[in-house]
Structure 1
Amino acid sequence: MEVNEGDIHISLTGKRKESNNSRRWRYTKQALIVANASQWFLQMAMFSAWNNPASYDFIKIGTNFYGNKLEFSDTQLDMLTSLDSFGSILGSAYAWPVSWWGRRFTMMIMVVPHIIAWCLLGFSPSPTGILVGKMLSGVLMGASGLCVNTYMVEIPDVSIRGTIAMLTQLELAFGYLLTVSLGLVLRYYHFAYVGIGLSVVACALNYFIPESPTFLVTKNREEEARLLLKRLRSPDDDIELELEMIRNENKGMEENSFISVLRRPDIRKTMLIILGLFITQQFSGIYIFYINTTRIFIDAKTNMNPNLAVVFTFIAQFAGTVVGSITIEKWGRRNSIVISVFIVSIFLYMMGTYSYLNPNIGTSAIEAAKMSAETTVGNATLNGLLTTSIGSSGPSDGFTSKWQWVPLMCLMGIVFSASLGVESVPWILSAEYFPTSIRAKAQSIVMVFSGFLSMFVFGLYSPMKNALTIPGLYFFYATSCVAGFLFSLIFVRETAGQDIG
């Protein structure tokens, strides 16, 4: 039995209970802390999506910040994407500073290389300097992902950890949409001003967030961790029990080498499951659809302007991320990725069937790439965006006129359903599955693996399209999703509502 005194509930035994209003405010504080840290994911999205308006700018306008001629070869344009993936592999080395110096400090000091990267991207007079900037931005994407993914699962309550962790995906989705939208009116170098400003703001706001309590425990700073947990947890939570759980989960791991810890059967099995999820994520083709949206619509031979399709794609991704942030705790991690990858496979099979039945599809990869360069979203006028470009998208016949809505529906369905789980859950589980003392280093292995996979998948896109044909490529991605569906159903262990070390 309880009596209510204002905003606090007190049981007849004298134990203080948390009211609903207090709980909501506490959850809001936790969300604001993680959202603060997640600002670096906004930078990640801008670095990645910057390739779209920049490529258009380099091809159609071809002048730099100083008004001089700027020429990119086809190989250099391809490197804009591949350097992101390669740089993210190098960024995985940031796991060691994150483990030694803490999450908060290592986030704050990223402001300096972020400013340097944006200066190189915006103000370098030659392609070489811009490509160096892309390499550095790739390194920062890897470092930011590792640092923030580690921090985001160590702050919130167990009951809302998944929902709050999805804030990083919301930042990504918003960053993609923001960059594509700004690309309609800004030159490529104008993004440097936006990026530098947001980097400084992120660093300044990071000053006000706390260090991870689990990191403090592993560094024998238990009194600081105790005080912080009293601020983060409810009055009726057993703080000492949580501290003991963190100690036990990480016992002996700080003294042992990371390699010796990886030899433990339970850790090794966990790592293999996580890597399997990333294989599912990459071979589902979702990042191909994010990066090559324009090219995919050209291949689909619809009468819709591909530029408009890019905007629709990222709107659908943002909407899917919002829905995913709500469902991830209700469905759980396992069900989220199982449902997500299954729905993605359905839309991929539909896209493959449309491509197979469309008599106009047959453009070579080289021709498609040339047309893509002419229509990639970027510094276009609003009127140009909304104008249908029939000539660049393929002939208008009965089939195209009747079914041209199918590729757009499929593409939006793919990115929406991917945002429900297959895009986000592997990253969340890669943080939740490992103890605090090795979490950042384990994530570094995941980052390296994901980076190599990404390079592999992007590099194989054109060869596989030529070898399998366009319909065959979509059927391959769909079948990979079915395999990922079975893998997730059998091997993924649920973490929703459970404590992590």
Structure 2
Amino acid sequence: MDIGASAFNLCNVDSAHAIAKEKQQDAEFKQLITSCTSLSHYESKRFITLLPQIIATLIAGSFHIVVGITLAYSAVLIPQLRNTTILGSATSTDSSTSNVAINATNTNQSLYGQREAWVASTTIVVVPVASLICGVVMDSIGRLNTLKITAIPVTIGWILIATATNYPMILLGRILTGVAGAFGTSPAMVYLTEIARADMRGSLTSSGPAYASLGMVLAYLKGWFMDWRTIAWVCNIYAIIPCILMFFIPESPAWYISKGKIDQARNSLEWIHKYQPHPPNKTQSMAELHLAVLIRDHEKKQEELRNSKYTGLAMKLKEFTKPTAVKPLTILFFLFFIQQFSGIYITLFYAIDLLKQMGIDMNPYLVSIFMGIVRFCMSMVNTYMMKRFKRRPLVMCSCIGMAICMLVSGLFTKWTIEGTTSFTWIPVLCLILYVTTSMIGLLPLPWTMTAELFPLEIRGVAQSISYSIANTIMFLAVQSYPSLANLLGGVVHAQWFFAVICLIGVIYVFVLMPETHGKKLNDIVEYFVHNTFYVTARKAYKSKGARKSSDRKPIIKNTRVTKNDMEESADGQNNNLIENV
């Protein structure tokens, strides 16, 4: 009897162990399915479901309007300052001899030109440091709170410019608006990346460049009929209104979870997914499913941190030594170098003077306004193109188009200056087409990718470092353009120089730039663990995906799923398995 009871108890224990193991396998399988497949499997694609994300995009991205005005403002400000004594005098009135007069005039003109260059570029030179600070701030107090405090430096900066009576006041005002530019763009891009649906991320994050393009149009338009002081006063409106609207949208759920604020993250996700229908065959809502994925990803990373000998700041520094940080930073560095020295921002900061140097018989303000309108319209088109087309072809086509436009524009500018052609309108057309093709890819996409390529743990800081790198290169390009043009022999050769850089960009993008269109952020990060050159990675991916269907295991519904089946499902090879969970 005791032997029978013992055998019976042993059988029960074995059965309990088997059941527990089976439940554990079920849980692991469901976890694998949830973490390795996109939430888009359950998401409705109706427009109404995107409405909260669109509203958040319109509000958070609207800070880019004042950034666009800040960038284009120098093109309006510098010509108008020449009619004042704020930058000093370009000529000398106190000379005892003609030679002394000539030397003094040359010295004053050189100083005057240097001050003009600093007025144009000062707003950029402070951005690298401001961006690094911004990265720490947004990871500490949140993406939206960082955007809210941006209203302080930008308001003070524009007031200083509006009331300026000397050169230092202009510079200080430009410095503060540059700081505000860093604090108003980096958090917005990170925020939009973290709340956007994977297939809409490119379109929503491209709203930033669209808003900036609108700001440029407003700057050129106001410069046509407004005094530079009046423009500075009006610009405060574009900073204050977004700050107020920011209180009506929720903070990033990913940031909430990183701070352990689960309830706030749930509320944020419920707002984001408020119009999403209940997922079929699921007891949880879409917000709860999304929350579970974010929590699991965060817990997995925290487990890695606990098992690591590095903690706190040391751990973050350690993250920056990994391929998932080094490779994206390196790729973005050279991509931004190509972007800046292709002339995109140089033609923006020196638009009025550049058009005059090209010998165009048109009102430079009207041409600048039209170029700004084209840039804004193309930014809206780009929103659609980023959803419809892959990133790499867009950037390569953009570089090719820009190179052709600059080559032809340089040629006809040369003939216009020499007076050997009557087609003086062709350089204007080429510049407009140059702006059009730049908005297809090379101008907006590198900025968008700064928020896509990095792991969540360092995304804020890494995005700010990328932004700092980009603005450092932009400063060098804008500040050095007058000297570069003189070194190359004038505006003609400068345009040809831009064309050569664009052609180099085609080769660079083809070899190195990764494809992020429609990819989950975790998948993008995983790419850098195993790949550097996209060309070889693409070939490996094709060979991996080229397995014969006969090599794959058949699906047997309503049966136990094997480990191999789990791995195939995790690879996205067998989505039907999801239905059997």
TM-score, normalised on structure 1?
A: 0.82
2:481: which partner in 1? 461
* Conservation of the 8 A alpha-carbon contact between 1:337 and 1:425: yes
Residue identity over aligned pairs, in percent, reads 22
Q: Distance in 2 between matches of 1:500 and 1:308?
A: 42
Higher RCO (Cα < 8 Å, 6 or more apart): 1
- What residue is the counterpart of 1:108 in the other structure? 148
In structure 1, distance between residues paired with 2:194 and 2:337:
26
Larger Rg: 2
Report the Cα distance in structure 2 between the residues aligned to 1:108 and 1:339, rounded to whole angstroms.
37
Does the C-alpha gap of structure 1 residues 272 and 112 become closer, same or farther in structure 2, counting only changes over 3 Å? same
CA distance in 1, matches of 2:400, 2:501: 10
Matching residue within 63, 88, 97 for 1:40: 63
Cα deviations across residues 162-205 of structure 1 (Å, max 9, x unaligned)? 11111111110111101111122221121233222222211110
Where does residue 192 of structure 2 map in the other structure? 152
Counterpart of 2:495 (choices 464, 469, 474) is 474
Matched, 1:360 2:417: yes
> In structure 1, what residue type is equivalent to 2:181?
M
Letter in 1 for 2:226: L
Show the counterpart of 1:82.
121
Q: CA offset at residue 311 of structure 1? A: 1.3
Matched letter for residue 428 of structure 1: T
Aligned partner of 2:520: which letter? Answer: D
The aligned residue for residue 51 of structure 2 is 28
Structure 1 residues 330-353: Cα deviation after superposition (integer angstroms, max 9, x where no partner): 112222212212211111121222
Sort the Cα spacing of 1:100 and 1:308 in 2 relative to 1 into closer, same or farther, 3 A: same
Deviations 1:453-473, CA, capped at 9 Å, x for gaps = 112212332222222233332
Q: Unmatched 5+ residue regions in structure 2? A: 1-40, 88-107, 280-285, 306-310, 523-581
For residues 461 and 198 of structure 2, the distance between their equivalents in structure 1, rounded to whole angstroms, comes to 22
User: 1:349: which partner in 2?
Assistant: 407
- Cα distance, 1:250–1:189 mapped onto 2, change above 3 Å: farther
CA distance in 2, matches of 1:336, 1:248: 35
Q: Secondary structure at the match of 1:319?
A: helix
State which of 483, 496, 512 in structure 2 corresponds to 1:491.
512
Q: Residues 355 and 423 (structure 1 numbering): CA distance in 2 closer, same or farther, change over 3 Å?
A: same
Q: What one-letter code is carried by the residue in structure 2 that aligns with 1:293?
A: A
Contact residue 120 and residue 133 of structure 1 kept, 8 A: yes
Task: Report if the CA contact (8 A) 1:250-1:437 is conserved.
Answer: no
Residues 47, 263 of structure 1: CA spacing in aligned structure 2 closer, same or farther, 3 A cutoff? same
1 CA distance for matches of 2:120 and 2:59?
27
Deviation at 1:398, TM superposition (A): 5.5
TM-score where L is the length of structure 2? 0.71
Instruction: Give per-residue Cα distances to partners, 1:308-365, cap 9 Å, x unaligned.
Output: 2211211121121111111011112222212212211111121222234x1625xxxx
Q: 1:169 to 1:248 in 2, by over 3 A?
A: farther
Matches for 1:373-384 after TM superposition, within 5 Å: none
The within-5 A match list for 1:62-461 is: 73-92=112-131, 93-233=133-273, 234=276, 235-236=278-279, 237=286, 238-239=289-290, 240-245=292-297, 247-248=299-300, 252=304, 255=312, 256-356=314-414, 358=415, 360-361=417-418, 397=419, 399=421, 401=422, 403-461=423-481
**Partner residue, 2:81:** 58
Q: C-alpha displacement at 1:78, in angstroms?
A: 2.1
Q: What residue ranges of structure 1 are gaps of 5+ in the alignment?
A: 1-15, 65-70, 362-396
What secondary structure is seen at the aligned counterpart in 1 of 2:257? helix
* SS across alignment from 2:515: coil
Q: Which moved more, 1:225-234 or 1:196-205?
A: 225-234
In the alignment, the residues of structure 2 paired with residue 57 and residue 462 of structure 1 have an alpha-carbon distance, to the nearest angstrom, of: 19
Helix, strand or coil at the partner of 1:189: helix
C-alpha deviation, 1:248, in angstroms: 4.1
Structure 1 residues 115 and 296: CA distance shift in structure 2, 3 A: closer
Q: Distance in 1 between matches of 2:298 and 2:514?
A: 20
C-alpha distance in structure 2 between counterparts of 1:29 and 1:337, whole Å: 29
Aligned length in residues: 440
SS in structure 2 at match of 1:497:
coil
The 3-state SS of whatever aligns with 1:434 is coil
Is residue 158–residue 232 contact of structure 2 (8 Å, CA) maintained in 1? yes
Q: How far apart, in 1, do the equivalents of 2:433 and 2:246 lie?
A: 36
Deviation at 1:62, TM superposition (A): 5.8
CA RMSD of aligned residues (A): 2.4
CA distance in 2, matches of 1:465, 1:298: 14
